Amino acid sequence: MRLRRRELIAAAAALLAPRHLLAQSPRRGPRIGWLNGGSASLAAHAEAFKGGLRELGWIEGQNVAVEWRYAETKYDRLPELANELVKLDSVDVIVAATNPEIRAAAQVTSKVPIVMVAGTDPIGQGFITSFRQPGANITGLTSDVSPDIFGKYLEFLKEIVPTASDVGGIIDPGHPVSQVYRKAVEDAAIRLGLTMHHAEIRASDDIEKAFATMSAARVQAVLIYRSVLIFVNLHQIVAAAERHKIPTIYAYKDAVAQGGLISYGSSLDDLFKQAATYVDKLLKGAPPANLPVEQPTKFQLLINLGTAKGLGLTIPPTIVARADGLIE
C-alpha cells in the first residue's frame, strides 16, 4: 500500500511541475554525431539533414539528439573532434561529410556506424570494399560522378562562349581523383577543338595566382573542378573570376548563388538530406556493411543571368530552357 501511495505522490508532482521543466527532460533517444570540417555558418547543409530526419520521424531534442562538431576549416582538428564523438556515451552513428571527416572517424572507431555524405573514391581510399557490399562500418553516399560528365562542362562553356579556343581549368591536385577528372577534361577538349590550360591550387593563397595564370594565357572561359578545398573557398574563387572577368563554370550550385556564372552537378543539400535515410536505417538496426553506397544520379544546371549580363554574354535559349534554376 505504501508503494501505491508513493506512485500517487510522484504522479501528482509531475502534474504540478511547470511545463518548461517537463520539456527539458525528454526521453533519451538515439544520439547522432555530426562531424564537419567546415563552419557552423554553413547552416543550409545541417538544415537539409535535419529536414530529412524530420520526414522520417526523427525530431532533434524530442526523440533523437545530435552532437554537432565543426572544425571551422581547421582540418587538423578533425581527429580530436571525432574522438570526442566516439567517447560520448552511446553515440549510435556518426555523419561524416567528406573524405577528411570520414578518415578521421574511421581512425577512431571500427564499431560505430559512419555515414559518409559526399565521399570521394571510397574504394580507392579504403573506406569500403565495394559499393554493393561496403563490408565494414562505413556506408552512405559519394559525390563521385562519372568522369564523362566533365565533357559536359566544356560543352556548356563552348555554347556560351562559341568563339572560345582556349579554356582554363583550376584544379586541386590533392583531390583523390583529380587526375582522372583532368584526363577526362583534356580528352573532351581535344574532341571539341579546345586548348586546355591548367593551374593547380593547394591552398587559398593560390587562388589569385591561378586566375592570374588564366588571364596571362588569355583563356576565354574557366572550369573549376571539385574538391573540399575548392568548396570551402568558393566565395574567394567567385570573386576572383569576377575581378578577372572570366566566364566560369562550377561543380557546386552554391557558386551561382554567390555570383558565379553557371554550375552543373549534384546538390550537396540533396546529399545531406539523403544521408538522413541512412541514419534512419542504421538507427533501426540495419548493419552498415550491407547498406549499398549510392552515387549521384541527379544533376542540376543553374545559371546566373545577372553575371552573364555583367560579362556581356547572352546565354543561348537552348541552355536557358534546360536550366533547373535561374538567378536574374
Model-level pTM? 0.81
Residue 277's contacts (CB-CB under 8 Å, 6 or more residues apart) are 52, 56
| Long-range Cβ contacts of 97-100 (<8 Å, 24+ apart) | 97/35, 97/36, 97/37, 97/38, 97/45, 98/37, 98/143, 98/228, 99/125, 99/176, 99/228, 100/37, 100/75, 100/228
Tell me, what's the pLDDT at 117?
96
Q: Which residue has the cell 571539341?
A: 192
Q: Where do the structural domains in the chain lie, given as residue ranges?
A: 8-144+269-290, 149-265+299-327
* pLDDT computed for residue 328 by the predictor: 87
The domain over range 149-265+299-327 is classified in CATH as 3.20.20.10: no
Q: Do domains 8-144+269-290 and 149-265+299-327 have the same CATH topology?
A: yes
Upper half-sphere CA count for residue 150 (Cβ side, 13 Å) = 26
- pLDDT for res 89: 67
pLDDT recorded at residue 198 = 97
pLDDT of residue 20: 34
**Weakly modelled stretches of the chain, pLDDT under 50:** 1-27
Give the strand pairing for 138-142 and 114-119.
parallel
State residue 28's pLDDT score. Answer: 61
Which pLDDT value is given to residue 10? Answer: 39
pLDDT at res. 39 = 82
pLDDT digits (tens, 9 = 90+) for 100-115: 999 999 999 999 999 9
- For 8-144+269-290, which CATH superfamily applies? Response regulator (3.40.50.2300)
CA dihedral 176, 180, 181, 186 (to 10 degrees): 150
Per-residue pLDDT, 9 = 38
